[in-house]
Homo-oligomer: A and B are copies of this chain.
Amino acid sequence: MDQRVSVITLGVADLGRAREFYQALGWRQGNDEADDVAFFQAGGMVFALWDRAMLAEDSAVSDAGGWGGVTLAHNAGSAEAVDKIINEARAAGAVIGREPARTFWGGYSGVFIDPDGHPWEVAHNPGWTLRADGTIGLGTG
């Protein structure tokens, strides 16, 4: 199994509401909006929104409700960029779980929670390499 992730799918209660939230952050859906799943090309991978009950069934799991141990992060090039994105999320209706601040690991981050309760950390990590194309590398090499 190659060391990579191809798709992240978030289960949502209302596809239209979830799509509008990500669109308000500037994201653009890559497939037909009439489809019952929304795909967003996210760099070299795909980010998807799908009905949570259907996702649970398709994933062969029981849905515990609430958060289940997965957090996404979006890295930005500076503390100022983190502040800007957290404010965009706030304007789009997200709950801000943690206002941006310096972190114990030497970076700067905040957390927003999307309309379905999925948390996103928005972080600036000076110990990693964030390239112009948005890809990220461990270390500063």
Contacts and interface: CB of A to CB of B under 8 A. Distances in A.
Interface of A: 1-12, 25-28, 30-31, 39-47, 52, 55-56, 58-75, 85, 88-89, 97-98, 111, 113, 116-119, 121-123, 128, 130-131, 133-139
B66 A68 contact: yes
A10 B30 CA distance: 26
A67 to B, nearest CB: 4
Interface centre among A46, A71, A88 (most CB of B within 10 A): A71
A70 B70 contact: yes
27 contacts: A1-B74, A3-B26, A3-B42, A3-B43, A5-B8, A5-B42, A5-B47, A6-B73, A6-B130, A8-B8, A11-B70, A31-B138, A41-B138, A45-B136, A46-B138, A55-B71, A58-B98, A59-B111, A61-B66, A61-B119, A63-B66, A66-B68, A67-B68, A68-B68, A68-B69, A70-B70, A70-B118
A113 to B, nearest CB: 7
Nearest to A69: B11
Nearest to A98: B60
